[in-house]
Structure formats: C-alpha cells, structure tokens
Structure 1
Amino acid sequence: MQENQAKSMEMMKTGKFDKCYGVALKGQNDCFAGAGTSCAGTSTTDYQGNAWKLVAKGTCTTISTPNGHGSLTAKS
C-alpha cells in the first residue's frame, strides 16, 4: 500500500490531477478512505464520500454517479 500512496503523491505533484471524492468503486480508491482505513483500496462501498480517486484536473465535478457528482472535498 505504501507503494500506491507514493505513486498517488507523485502524480499529485505534477499539478495535472485532483482528488475527487465520492467517485471510487468499492476497494478502488487511491488513498485515505476515512477512519479505520489506511490507504488505497480500502473503501468499503461504491461512491464512498470520504474516499477519493485521482482524476484529470478540472474534471471531478463533471463525473456523475448514482449519488450525484464528484466533489473536491470529502462528503459525509
């Protein structure tokens, strides 16, 4: 998991990606899915509001899910 976390951090440093909350499928988040989890692949439900995926900068809020659009901030 540390490898995935390092990869996510390197991608973020390029400035070409945003953290997009609420768009990851179960177990497919990039890193940090809230209390009791550590990093990538730890989300327990689809579109979990506190789990994020890296997406191309400027596209997050255009991503539609059954729960609404992606968010640049964590959802409860």
Structure 2
Amino acid sequence: NPLASNLGALIDVSEHPLLYRMGSAVDVFTIWVLILTGIGFACVSKLKRSTSLAVVFGWYALITLIGIGFAAAFS
C-alpha cells in the first residue's frame, strides 16, 4: 500500500490480526465519505446535521464491529 491512509498501516497483521482489522477501518477517506453521506442525508431527510451524522457513523460502527467479530470468530 503506497499511501498509508488508515491506522492498519502501523500494525503488523501477523502479530495482531484483530487490531489490524480495527485499525484498517479507521481510514481518512472513509471518514470523509461518511461525513459527506451524513450531510447529504441531513439535506434529504430534513433532520439536524448532528442527528444524521450520528446515524451514519452509528451504522458504520455497527457494520464494522460485526465484520471484526466474524473475522475474530473464523481466524
């Protein structure tokens, strides 16, 4: 990976695969996309921006934790 845009680049995958997976989920570009999605959701749904961002980041956290759980269960 020539551009280390996530925290997974700082962690050795062979030593800590679960921590690597969690660090890989924290990506600069993913966070930017989530912010833009939250702002767009606020414009479309007429909700407050903070509520929309909480919903978008909440779903992302839930899906990421489920993925990490499956990775931990089958590794």
Point out the structure with max Rg over C-alpha.
2
**Relative contact order (C-alpha < 8 Å, sep 6+): which is higher?**
1
**TM-score normalised by L of structure 1:** 0.27
- Greater share of helix residues, 1 or 2? 2
The TM-score normalised by the length of structure 2 is: 0.27
